[in-house]
């Protein structure tokens, strides 16, 4: 039985020269990157010459580096869930390598929501939002992006929805809440003071508080009426906020699509009208 390319490289490691070992190590640790690399790039990364890369491909039985890349690409396509820890950024990564890692990390984060989000909590959230008189979204920093996106989408759906970064302005809004209203608190940590204050004030007024927050025992997580849990994605501190925003946005998307699906016929005319205006702004 023919083993895979990577397996073949692995089992012949002890036979390799020092230079071949350097190339092998890089390939085994960065397999996904190889199909889009040039000989020069791989040579630089492995700290060998381009000629050595060409020789290596021949040594392991592939006629050319070009073919080596094609074969490896095919093998990786088949191999499910090939997980390498991309989160540790290396100083000498090129922009394209970092881009590939970002793609990987973002895909993984979105996938992980499947593990953290509770079906019933989502159903309940959709039900409350659908029937809400007024909706307020609130998040700060990176989470404000998701709040902004929600504002945009729920406005399109015809809801009385609001989001404003000005905490004091929000302090004037929330007291007018009642039991028909919904406050959506967005906070990765679940410990952001302004978000917590507004959530608690909303509850005092009888509104439902939906939290989009990481699945852990934060104050917001504990106190919210409905918890739409985002996964705890342990990342390098430099990119941690990227993945949480992706997961928050995916949840916002899901709420939007669910409600659209439920009430869509009622707003199709207005919805189409808005789209027509958008098209008019194009060339």
Q: Does 15 bind a copy of itself (CB under 8 A)?
A: no
Q: Does 95 bind a copy of itself (CB under 8 A)?
A: yes
Report in angstroms how near the CB of residue 28 gets to DNA at its nearest: 17
Considering only the stretches 54-62, 122-130, 143-151, 199-207, report the one whose residues sit in contact with DNA under the rule CB under 7 A: 54-62
CA gap 178, 51 in Å, rounded: 73
Say how many C-beta atoms besides its own lie within 10 A of residue 227's C-beta.
23
Q: CB of 31 within 8 A of CB of 42? A: no
Among 5, 33, 45, 69, binds DNA (CB under 7 A): 69
Specify the DSSP class assigned to residue 37: -
Chain residues 217-246 in contact with a copy of itself, contact rule CB under 8 A: 219, 237-239, 242, 245-246
Site string for DNA, 111-150 (x = CB under 7 A): --------xx------------------------------
- Contacts with DNA by CB under 7 A: the residue count is 24
Angle of the 65-78 helix axis to the 50-59 helix axis, nearest 10: 60
- 10 Å CB burial of residue 119 (0-12, 13-18, 19+) is exposed
Instruction: Give me the phi and psi of 204, to 5 degrees please.
Output: -60, -35
Q: Does 44 bind a copy of itself (CB under 8 A)?
A: no
Q: Does 36 bind a copy of itself (CB under 8 A)?
A: yes
Considering only the stretches 3-11, 40-48, 130-138, 141-149, report the one whose residues sit in contact with DNA under the rule CB under 7 A: 40-48
- Antiparallel, parallel or unpaired: β 182-187 and 160-162: unpaired
- Antiparallel, parallel or unpaired: β 134-138 and 160-162: parallel
Chain residues 165-184 in contact with DNA, contact rule CB under 7 A: none
Q: Does 232 bind DNA (CB under 7 A)?
A: no
Residue 102 interaction partner, one of DNA, a copy of itself, none, beta carbon < 5-8 Å per kind: a copy of itself
CA gap 251, 151 in Å, rounded: 14
Report in angstroms how near the CB of residue 38 gets to DNA at its nearest: 3
Helix, strand, or coil here: 139? coil
Q: Does 192 bind a copy of itself (CB under 8 A)?
A: yes
> CA separation (Å) from 101 to 146, 170, 173, 182?
22, 38, 42, 37
Considering only the stretches 17-25, 54-62, 116-124, 177-185, report the one whose residues sit in contact with a copy of itself under the rule CB under 8 A: 116-124
Considering only the stretches 10-18, 51-59, 109-117, 207-215, report the one whose residues sit in contact with a copy of itself under the rule CB under 8 A: 109-117
Q: Does 254 bind a copy of itself (CB under 8 A)?
A: yes
Q: CB of 176 within 8 A of CB of 148? A: no
Residue 18 interaction partner, one of a copy of itself, DNA, none, beta carbon < 5-8 Å per kind: DNA
Q: Does 178 bind a copy of itself (CB under 8 A)?
A: no
Say how many C-beta atoms besides its own lie within 10 A of residue 209's C-beta.
21
Q: Does 19 bind DNA (CB under 7 A)?
A: yes
CA gap 178, 84 in Å, rounded: 49
Helix, strand, or coil here: 214? strand
The residues that bridge with 226 in the sheet, in sequence order, are 210
- Contacts with a copy of itself by CB under 8 A: the residue count is 73
Note the residues at the interface with DNA (CB under 7 A).
17-20, 38-40, 47-55, 57, 64-67, 69, 119-120
């Amino acid at each position: 039985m023919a083993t895979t390319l990577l397996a073949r490289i692995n089992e012949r490691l002890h036979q390799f020269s020092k230079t071949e070992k350097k190339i092998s190590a890089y390939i085994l640790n960065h397999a996904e990157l190889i199909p889009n690399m040039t000989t020069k790039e791989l040579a630089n990364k492995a700290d060998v010459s381009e000629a050595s890369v060409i020789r290596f491909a021949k040594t392991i039985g592939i006629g050319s580096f070009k073919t080596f890349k094609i074969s490896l690409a095919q093998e990786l396509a088949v191999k499910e869930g090939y997980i390498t820890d991309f989160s540790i950024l290396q100083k000498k990564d090129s922009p394209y390598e970092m881009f590939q890692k970002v793609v990987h990390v973002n895909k993984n984060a979105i996938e992980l929501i499947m593990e953290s989000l509770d079906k019933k909590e989502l159903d309940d959230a959709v039900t409350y939002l659908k029937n809400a008189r007024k909706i307020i979204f609130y998040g700060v920093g990176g989470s404000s992006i998701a709040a902004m996106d929600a504002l945009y989408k729920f406005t399109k759906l015809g809801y009385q929805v609001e989001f404003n970064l000005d905490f004091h302005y929000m302090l004037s809004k929330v007291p007018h809440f009642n039991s028909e209203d919904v406050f959506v608190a967005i906070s990765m940590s679940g410990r952001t003071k302004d978000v917590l204050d507004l959530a608690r004030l909303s509850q005092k007024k009888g509104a439902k508080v939906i939290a989009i927050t990481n699945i852990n025992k934060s104050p917001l997580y504990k106190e919210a009426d409905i918890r739409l849990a985002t996964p705890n994605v342990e990342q390098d501190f430099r990119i941690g906020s990227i993945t949480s925003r992706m997961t928050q946005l995916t949840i916002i998307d899901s709420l939007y699509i669910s409600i659209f699906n439920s009430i869509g016929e009622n707003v199709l005319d207005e919805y189409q009208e808005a789209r027509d205006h958008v098209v008019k702004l194009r060339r």
